[in-house]
Structure 1
């Protein structure tokens, strides 16, 4: 698959923050993302943008790193990280026990929930408890497939995986519902002309963080990025970026 490279310096509307360290050396952090998950990472008028882009640009400024973005299909991101083609992934990567056993994660910087979405007017599916006997779409490689498989009635749910465009097939009635994170679902419904609606409340907490390879180099990069995230959280930059894209702060855990 063709890969597009976007350099952070070329992007408009970067968040201005004070560098944590002087950029004495040109150290590049290569960040993988799909560029197709509005409003976290997407391309509009040939410009890569979104919440994740702004966060990583702010991290680069704070940590003294040049951020280089590599876009590819979401399902290929983990393999690219494993192979060393990218240093981390900024694409709503959920912390799971399986991933924690394999990668070195930063602190969580997004707190969200899994959300069922249906065609507008659908009264058969009013929440996750109504997915028995239904066909449900999820993005290929996402954690939402596993969340559905963890349901006590998972054997009664027909899961269909997509590389993209799960919302179109739901709106057209080809599937009964799709599952995505709540904030993306709400923004998608707000921006899209497709007849969609949220079905019920979120059914699982999601914590997103940045994964790095679990070796000496990867852990060192993780620590550098994690320190920058702490500063950006403390000085309000993460909140500012979140409010810009979502109108609310999804970067702090209200339960804590």
Structure 2
């Protein structure tokens, strides 16, 4: 599921000279501090979740490796997903490493790195249902996580057709209600749905094909071109040396 770098975004790797010419000191600031403050939602397994009181997952390992390669200590700040973009734009954190999928609306507010993961919108659904096409959402009670691309996809494309949209602050809460039958399906990203559903032993849930492909990236403020260029440089190296592929194999090979 790892996505090769898109040619259209490769020009971002040339940004350091432009950033310096414009007086951008974002990279110099984090290097001087020796710390990269990273926002993370903390509740989107297997990208990020708490295990025995410790934050873990794909994104956590990615962030720690990025810090190692940049020579910086990573300071994780767990923030409710709906507040992550505000935390970045306000300066509370320097970056977001939290499985943020690219959308046009988000790209107007924050910058996206070259993609480090390929994903897409899909549905997890109750036994006896066949929600394999977006049109199959019609008349259903649909669970979504607030602020996610899954919520926006349902509202933008199927709000008039569904019976009800139930909104949850965190993805595990939506999945829990799917298991017990309070919602008929949950719309989110397919790899995460597959991973979590494979680990559910209470009921046999289904997962649809991907309906809308999405790219996942690391985020900075739009003005922080120097920092973003450095992040892109290291992501390219991680792609080339197999580190991203190893993360994919570790966290998603048994997604079901």
Question: With structure 2 as the length reference, what TM-score do the two structures score?
Answer: 0.81
Q: What's 1:171 paired with? A: 179
The secondary structure found in structure 2 opposite 1:221 is helix
Distance 1:201 1:222 in 2: 32
Does the 8 Å CA contact 2:132/2:209 hold for their aligned counterparts? no
Q: Judging changes above 3 Å, is the alpha-carbon distance between structure 1 residues 48 and 199 closer, same or farther for their aligned structure 2 residues?
A: closer
1:238 aligns with 2:225: no
Structure 1 position 228 matched with structure 2 position 234: yes
Q: Aligned partners of 2:31, 2:135: CA distance in 1, in Å?
A: 55
- 1:202, distance to aligned residue in structure 2 (A): 1.1
Which residue of 2 is the match for residue 62 of structure 1?
69
Q: How does 1:31-180 map to 2 (within 5 A)?
A: 31-119=38-126, 121-123=127-129, 125-151=131-157, 153-157=158-162, 158-164=164-170, 165-180=173-188
Map of 1:7 onto structure 2: none
For 2:76 and 2:31, the matched residues in 1 are separated by 21
Q: How far, CA to CA, are the matches of 1:147 and 1:96 in structure 2?
A: 10
1:110 is displaced (CA, Å) by: 0.8
Verify the 8 A CA contact 1:170 1:178 in the aligned structure 2. yes
Gaps of 5+ in 1: 1-22, 249-256
Cα contact 2:149–2:188 (8 A) shared by 1? no
| Structure 2: distance between partners of 1:244 and 1:87 | 27
Deviation at 1:123, TM superposition (A): 2.2
**Counterpart in the other structure of 1:210:** 218
Q: SS where residue 36 of structure 1 aligns?
A: coil
* Larger RCO: 1 or 2 (CA < 8 Å, sep 6+): 2
The separation in 1 between residues aligned to 2:31 and 2:174, in whole angstroms, is 45
Residue 134 to residue 69, structure 1, CA distance change in 2 (3 Å): same
Q: For residue 200 of structure 1, what is the aligned residue in structure 2?
A: 208
Q: Deviations over 1:8-65 (max 9, x none)?
A: xxxxxxxxxxxxxxx9855211111121111100111111110000111111111222
Query: Partner of 1:209: helix, strand, or coil?
Result: strand
| Cα displacement (A) at 1:154 | 3.2
What residue number does 1:184 align with? Answer: 192
Q: CA deviation at 1:108?
A: 0.8
**Structure having the larger proportion of residues in helix:** 2
Tell me the C-alpha RMSD between the 2 structures.
2.0
TM-score if structure 1 supplies the norm length? 0.81
Per-residue deviation, 1:143 = 1.2
